[in-house]
C-alpha cells in the first residue's frame, strides 16, 4: 500500500512518533501499562499504522472525529484503510462490545459503516469519505432533486432503525452523524440503544424541517405544509408503521 507525501503516519511497530502514539491510544491521559496492552491489541487486529488526517484537531494532531467516549482515526492494515475507533480512557463504558453488537445489527439491514474487526478497546470499520449534509444544501446553486434523493435515503434508513428497535440517540443534530458520498451514511452508534423508545425518524424530520438551523430553507425548498407535517409526525409517533411513514413521504413528494 503506497503512502502519500505530506502525510503523518504512526507506525505501531516502530518507536518513532511514540509520544503522539501514546497520546492517541491513551487519550486523554497517558498510562504506560495500558499503552502496552493497547499496542498489542492493535497488532492482533492487524493494524500497521495510523494516519493523522481529518477535520478534528486534538493537541495539534488531525483525526477523523472525537466524542465523549472515543476518538476515531484513519488506520492502515496490510491491504486496506479503515476508520479506527479508540475507546477513551475516561469513557464510562468498560469496552466497545455493545456498540459493536448494535452496529453489526444495523449493518445487517444496510445501515451504518460496516464493521471489519473489533476488540474491547477498538473498532475497525469501513472508512466513509464524504461531505456532511450542510455542504450540499448551503451550496449557492441547490439541485433540489439531488437533495430530495439524499433526504429520502436518510429517512428510509431512520425508518428501518425505528422498525428494528434501534434508537440512534443523536439524530436530533445531524451535523456530525450523517456523511454523504455515493450514498447517505448514518454514523456513530456509540449512544444507540435497544432499550429506549425509538425516535430516529421524528428526530431527523424535526431537525431538517422544523427546528434545525436550515429548516426554513427546507420548508421553502419543498413547499412544506408545516402544520400538516406536525400532525403526521404525531400520528407516526403513536404508530410507527409503514402507512404513517408513507404519509410523511407523500407530504415531501418522495414516494
Q: Does the structural domain 131-251 have CATH classification 1.10.510?
A: yes
Supply the pLDDT for residue 101. Answer: 97
The helix (H) or strand (E) run that includes residue 161 is helix 144-163
The residues with which 72 forms a beta bridge, in sequence order, are 65, 85
CA dist 111 and 109 (Å) reads 6
Question: What are the 10-residue block averages of pLDDT along the chain, 255 residues in total?
Answer: 74 82 96 96 97 95 94 95 97 96 97 98 96 69 81 97 97 91 93 96 96 89 92 97 97 89
Highest CATH level, class, for 8-125: alpha beta
Q: Specify the pLDDT at position 252.
A: 92
**Chain center to CA of 19:** 28
pTM of this prediction?
0.92
What are the residues facing 180 on neighbouring strands?
A: 131, 184
Q: What is the pLDDT of residue 5?
A: 62
Q: How many CA atoms are closer than 13 Å to the CA of 219, on its beta-carbon side?
A: 16
Burial of 4 (0-12, 13-18, 19+ CB in 10 A): exposed
> Shortest CA distance to 245 belongs to which of 160, 131, 151?
160
Q: Domain-by-domain residue ranges, the chain? A: 8-125, 131-251
Residues paired with 86 in a beta bridge:
71, 122
Residue in the block written with cell 449493518: 107
Amino acid at each position: 500500500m503506497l503512502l502519500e507525501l505530506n502525510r503523518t503516519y504512526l507506525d505501531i511497530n516502530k518507536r518513532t512518533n511514540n509520544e503522539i502514539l501514546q497520546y492517541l491510544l491513551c487519550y486523554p491521559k497517558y498510562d504506560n501499562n495500558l499503552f502496552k496492552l493497547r499496542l498489542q491489541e492493535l497488532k492482533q487486529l492487524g493494524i500497521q499504522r495510523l494516519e493523522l488526517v481529518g477535520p478534528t484537531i486534538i493537541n495539534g494532531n488531525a483525526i477523523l472525529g472525537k466524542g465523549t467516549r472515543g476518538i476515531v482515526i484513519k488506520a492502515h492494515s496490510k491491504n486496506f484503510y479503515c476508520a479506527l475507533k479508540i475507546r477513551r480512557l475516561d469513557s464510562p463504558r468498560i469496552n466497545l462490545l455493545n456498540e459493536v453488537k448494535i452496529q453489526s445489527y444495523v449493518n445487517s439491514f444496510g445501515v451504518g459503516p460496516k464493521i471489519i474487526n473489533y476488540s474491547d478497546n477498538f473498532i475497525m470499520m469501513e472508512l466513509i469519505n464524504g461531505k456532511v449534509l450542510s455542504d450540499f444544501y448551503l451550496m449557492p446553486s441547490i439541485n433540489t432533486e439531488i437533495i430530495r434523493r439524499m433526504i429520502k435515503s436518510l429517512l428510509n434508513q431512520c425508518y428501518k432503525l425505528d422498525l428494528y428497535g434501534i434508537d440512534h440517540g443523536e439524530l436530533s443534530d445531524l451535523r456530525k452523524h450523517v456523511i454523504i458520498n455515493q450514498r447517505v451514511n448514518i454514523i456513530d452508534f456509540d449512544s444507540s440503544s435497544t432499550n429506549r423508545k425509538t425516535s430516529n425518524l421524528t428526530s431527523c424530520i424535526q431537525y431538517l424541517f422544523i427546528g434545525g438551523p436550515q429548516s426554513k430553507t427546507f420548508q421553502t425548498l419543498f413547499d412544506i405544509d408545516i402544520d400538516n407535517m406536525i400532525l403526521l409526525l404525531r400520528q407516526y409517533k403513536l404508530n410507527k408503521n409503514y402507512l404513517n411513514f408513507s404519509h410523511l413521504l407523500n407530504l415531501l413528494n418522495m414516494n
